[in-house]
Structure 1
Amino acid sequence: MAFTLKGVAYVTGAGSGIGQHTAYSLARQGVRSFALLDRNAVAATVGELQKMAPDVSIQQFELDVTDEKAIDDSIAKTVQEFGRLDYAVNNAGIGGMIQTSDLIPKDDFEKVLAVNATAVWHCQRAQIRQMLTQNKLSTSYRSARGSIVNVASMYGLVAPPLNVPATAYATSKHAVIGLTRSDALQFAHRGIRINAIAPGYVMTPLVQKTMATRDMMETERKKVPLHRYSDMEEIADCIAFLHSDAASYMVGATLVADGGYSIV
């Protein structure tokens, strides 16, 4: 079914990569009110959105998602500006060292968990608190008080291979899926849908940089049944779908978009 999104979107990591293209996909589906967050400037994303939809309204936040107060304040300012929060995308994340546990410094491991897991919890907690205060967008049985999508990874479902020992990253993404399922169960009956997406290898700027210096990326590409990497728009479109009424019966799900990597 075709779908149209009406409401307010809140996207972390919106300055580039999956977050940036998620904003574009949401705009293509009808969203016109955005809160865009990134530790770097989101000017490029804002400029493209304004070209796509001249009537778009955007709140910009340059912040670190590990700053709990800043996250709470950004939610408050979003609601002050737009009146509500309908679609949240918790996408900001880092890769960390590609090393086994015996070689990872504690500080690096804890930093990856802080950004990829604890910060997602901070964001989701604030989003849930707001969504509980608002009514559904429509009277349709498919409508919800709000929808949250957490960006996990195929490495949140399977262990990374021997040649890509992304231990801290995989641990953090398993945590994201656990958080998604736990809160989805607690809040589904209160009108909030929470799901996750598990992308495989995506041609983000970070991956492109890695591919330029590591033979492992070509080795991994050959393992994907589709024999290619995803582009960012493909993952963004999956996220938009999860927010839509077309996915209204999906709760606590992890939508896998990895080209078949995890079924091999």
Structure 2
Amino acid sequence: MAFALKGVAYITGAGSGIGQSTALALARQGVRSFTLLDRNAVTETASQLKKSFPGISIKELEMDVTDEKAVNHSVEQTVKEFGRLDYAFNNAGVGGAIDTTDKMDRKEFDRVLGVNTLGVWLCERAQIRQMLKQEKLTDSYRSYRGSIVNMASMYGVIGPSADVPATAYATSKHAVIGMTRADAAALALKGIKINAICPGYVATPLIGGAESMEEGGAMEMERKKVPLQRLGNVEEIADCVAFLHSDASSFMIGASLVVDGGFTIQ
């Protein structure tokens, strides 16, 4: 599937998993300028991009998304380096403790919402402020000043089962969807497209890798609830993020695109 993307991409949590795969997906669709951000080094992602797409331009930044000054500075550095910011993927997140409210420590609850909700809000705010200063890439009615995709979850549209009481995580992802909808409605006519991606169970370190859902694994029963009877692949999520950034999704505003192998339809 080709979308012919042009412009500058900004991806948090880009060091591995869905963030890394999304960088590669956007590059396959034509993006040649990236700011890659993570708490840890993004060297591996940058190396893969440079190997597969010679001539690509990459700015690598280590950043904590809960650090307001660092977030604002990262957007400023992106614009200084590339002139603008067109595609933002606010992907950085944590899973948190699998506990009900009565068993959860305040510090853990704050940590999960700090990264998953406040971190997304800080990044989105800095991105919006920049996008409002720039013109659209093309004159097409399907073009925008910028596109933002926020990382939510299927547990942002449903509640987790009693077997997996991920209370803090679900709370943080419901909040991301509310934020996405509110900002999308407010900023659509100003030329900014904002949507959320809602993955189901995907083979990433966030759920302990694919092994946790194999026979006898801690999450085996959750895998069996998926109609496809398998985990998602990071590339399957990344391709959907690329779609949300493309003109193919130009009439999608404030959407929560669920990519979960059918988990939420049962």
- On whether the aligned pair clears a TM of 0.5, the verdict is yes
Q: 2:19 and 2:2 mapped to 1: Cα distance? A: 22
Aligned to 1:123: 123
Q: Which runs of structure 2 are paired with 1:126-165 in the superposition (5 Å)?
A: 126-165=126-165
Deviation at 1:34? 0.1
Structure 1 unaligned regions, length at least 5: none
Deviation at 1:211? 4.0
State the TM-score, normalized to the length of structure 1: 0.98
Aligned to 1:114: 114
Deviation at 1:215? 3.1
Q: 1:210 and 1:28 mapped to 2: Cα distance? A: 26
What is the identity, as a one-letter code, of the residue corresponding to 1:114?
Answer: G
Report the number of matched residues. 264
Identity over the aligned pairs, expressed in percent? Answer: 65
Q: Which runs of structure 2 are paired with 1:151-190 in the superposition (5 Å)?
A: 151-190=151-190
Q: Which runs of structure 2 are paired with 1:1-264 in the superposition (5 Å)?
A: 2-209=2-209, 211-212=211-212, 215-264=217-266
Q: Is the 8 A contact 1:210 1:217 kept in 2?
A: no
SS in 1 for 2:181: helix
Deviation at 1:216? 3.5
Deviation string 1:147-206 (CA, Å, 9 cap, x unpaired) is 000010000000000110000000000000000000000100000000001000000133
SS in 2 for 1:216: coil
SS in 2 for 1:88: strand
**Cα-Cα RMSD:** 1.3
Q: 1:116 and 1:201 mapped to 2: Cα distance? A: 17
Deviation string 1:18-54 (CA, Å, 9 cap, x unpaired) is 1110001000000000000000110000000001111
Q: 2:2 and 2:67 mapped to 1: Cα distance? A: 38
Q: Any runs of at least 4 consecutive aligned residues in structure 1 with deviations exceeding 6 A, and if so which?
A: none
What is the identity, as a one-letter code, of the residue corresponding to 2:176?
Answer: V
Deviation at 1:208? 3.6
What is the identity, as a one-letter code, of the residue corresponding to 1:160?
Answer: P
Deviation at 1:209? 4.2
Q: 1:101 and 1:135 mapped to 2: Cα distance? A: 46
Q: 2:112 and 2:223 mapped to 1: Cα distance? A: 24
Structure 2 unaligned regions, length at least 5: none
Q: Is the 8 A contact 1:13 1:19 kept in 2?
A: yes
Q: Is the 8 A contact 2:38 2:61 kept in 1?
A: yes
Deviation string 1:229-255 (CA, Å, 9 cap, x unpaired) is 100000000000000000011000010
Deviation at 1:223? 0.4
Q: 2:181 and 2:206 mapped to 1: Cα distance? A: 28
State the TM-score, normalized to the length of structure 2: 0.97
Q: 1:180 and 1:8 mapped to 2: Cα distance? A: 21
Q: Is the 8 A contact 1:197 1:239 kept in 2?
A: yes
SS in 2 for 1:93: coil
